[in-house]
C-alpha cells in the first residue's frame, strides 16, 4: 500500500482515517480497505464490481462516494505490440482517493508518475484529474509506440527484407491493441464526462480546462486508433502485394527456364524417333552439330529473356 498525505509518500500498512486527506494506492482485495469501505457507506454491491477484472468501464456515485473504473494497458511477453488491459478503480470521497489495481507493476508505475506531480495543497478533485491524466497519457504513449512500429514495418516491406510470418503476427497484435484502446477510450470518455458533471458547479468551473484536456486526449486516442487500424490494413495489403509480386517473379523465372528448354526438348525429341530413314544419323559430325544448335539456340533465348528482364 502506498499513502500520500504529505510531500513524500509512505509505503507501509497505513490506516484510513476519517477527515484526513489521503491518497491511497493499493489492491481492491486489500481486506483493510474493503472493511473501511463497508463501514463508511460504500454499497456492498460495488465490492464485487471493483474486485472483478471483467468489469467494464463505468461510473457510479452515491452521497458519500464516487466510483469510476478505467482501463490501464501494459505490454505482454507474447509480443511488443500486444497490450493487455487491467482494471483501475478510483473511489473518491471528500478527503480521499483510493486507487486500486491488482497489478503491482501498474501501481508502482502510477505511483512513480504521481509522486512527481503531487502537491499536498492540491484538492482531491484536482488530484483525481492528475491520476486520470497519467492513465490516459500512458495509453497515448502506447498508440504512439505502435505508430512508430508500423512505420518500421512499412520500411521493412519496402526494403524487401520481409519475414512474412513475423510481420503478419506484428500486424495482428497491433490491430488487437489498437482496437481495444479505441473501444475503451469511447467508454472512458463517457465515464469521465459523468464524473465531471457530478462535481458541484464551483469545482466544474475550476477544473473546466483540465477536463477539456482529458477529453481532447481521449478524442485523440479514439481517432488515432481508427487511423492506425486503417494503416494496419494498408500494410496488410502492401505485404500481400509484396508476397504476390515475389510469387509472380518466381513463376516468371520458372516460365523463362521452361521457355529455354522447350525448343531443345523438341529437337531432342525428333532424334529420339525410331525411323530407319533419318539421314542425319549417318552424318559424321551430326552429334556435334546438334549440340552446337542446342547451345546456340538456348543462349539466344536466354539473351532475349534477359533483355526482357524475365530472368
CB atoms closer than 10 angstroms to residue 301: 17
Interatomic CA distance for residues 272 and 15, integer angstroms? 101
Whole-number pLDDT of residue 156: 84
Q: Does domain 2-245 have CATH number 3.30.460.20?
A: yes
Residue 69 pairs with which residues in a beta bridge? 58, 89
Tell me the pLDDT tens digit for each residue of 109-141: 999 999 899 888 899 999 999 999 999 999 999
Which helix H or strand E contains 146, and what residues bound it? helix 124-159
Interatomic CA distance for residues 69 and 255, integer angstroms? 62
Burial class (CB in 10 A: 0-12, 13-18, 19+), 266: exposed
Tell me the pLDDT tens digit for each residue of 7-55: 556 766 667 777 788 899 988 888 888 888 888 878 777 787 788 878 8
Interatomic CA distance for residues 284 and 262, integer angstroms? 26
Whole-number pLDDT of residue 136: 94
Whole-number pLDDT of residue 259: 83
DSSP character string of 191-239: HHHHHHHTS-HHHHHHTHHHHHHHHHHHHHHHHHHHHHHHHHHHHHHHH
Whole-number pLDDT of residue 90: 94
All structural domains of the chain with their residue ranges: 2-245, 246-307
Tell me the pLDDT tens digit for each residue of 227-261: 998 888 888 888 777 777 777 777 878 888 888 88
Amino acid at each position: 500500500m502506498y499513502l500520500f498525505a504529505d510531500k513524500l509518500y509512505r509505503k507501509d500498512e497505513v490506516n484510513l482515517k476519517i477527515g484526513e486527506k489521503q491518497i491511497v494506492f493499493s489492491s481492491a482485495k486489500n481486506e483493510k480497505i474493503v472493511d473501511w469501505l463497508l463501514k463508511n457507506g460504500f454499497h456492498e454491491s460495488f465490492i464485487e464490481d471493483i474486485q472483478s477484472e471483467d468489469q467494464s468501464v463505468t461510473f457510479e456515485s452515491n452521497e458519500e462516494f464516487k466510483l469510476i473504473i478505467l482501463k490501464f494497458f501494459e505490454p505482454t511477453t507474447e509480443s511488443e505490440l500486444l497490450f493487455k488491459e487491467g482494471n483501475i478503480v478510483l473511489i473518491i470521497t471528500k478527503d480521499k482517493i483510493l486507487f486500486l489495481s491488482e497489478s503491482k507493476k501498474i501501481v508502482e508505475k502510477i505511483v512513480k508518475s504521481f509522486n512527481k506531480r503531487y502537491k499536498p495543497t492540491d484538492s482531491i478533485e484536482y488530484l483525481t484529474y492528475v491520476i486520470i491524466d497519467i492513465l490516459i497519457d500512458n495509453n497515448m504513449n502506447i498508440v504512439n509506440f505502435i505508430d512508430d512500429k508500423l512505420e518500421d514495418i512499412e520500411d521493412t516491406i519496402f526494403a524487401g527484407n520481409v519475414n512474412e510470418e513475423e510481420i503478419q503476427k506484428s500486424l495482428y497484435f497491433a490491430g488487437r491493441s489498437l482496437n481495444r484502446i479505441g473501444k475503451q477510450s469511447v467508454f472512458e470518455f463517457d465515464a469521465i464526462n459523468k464524473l465531471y458533471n457530478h462535481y458541484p458547479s464551483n469545482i466544474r468551473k475550476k477544473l473546466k480546462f483540465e477536463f477539456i484536456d482529458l477529453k481532447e486526449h481521449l478524442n485523440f486516442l479514439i481517432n488515432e486508433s481508427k487511423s492506425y487500424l486503417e494503416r494496419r490494413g494498408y500494410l496488410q495489403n502492401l505485404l500481400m502485394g509484396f508476397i504476390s509480386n515475389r510469387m509472380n517473379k518466381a513463376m516468371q523465372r520458372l516460365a523463362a527456364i521452361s521457355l529455354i528448354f522447350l525448343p531443345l526438348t523438341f529437337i531432342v525429341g525428333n532424334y529420339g524417333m525410331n525411323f530407319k530413314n533419318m539421314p542425319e544419323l549417318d552424318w559424321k559430325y551430326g552429334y556435334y552439330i546438334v549440340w552446337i544448335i542446342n547451345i546456340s539456340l538456348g543462349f539466344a533465348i536466354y539473351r532475349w529473356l534477359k533483355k526482357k528482364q524475365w530472368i
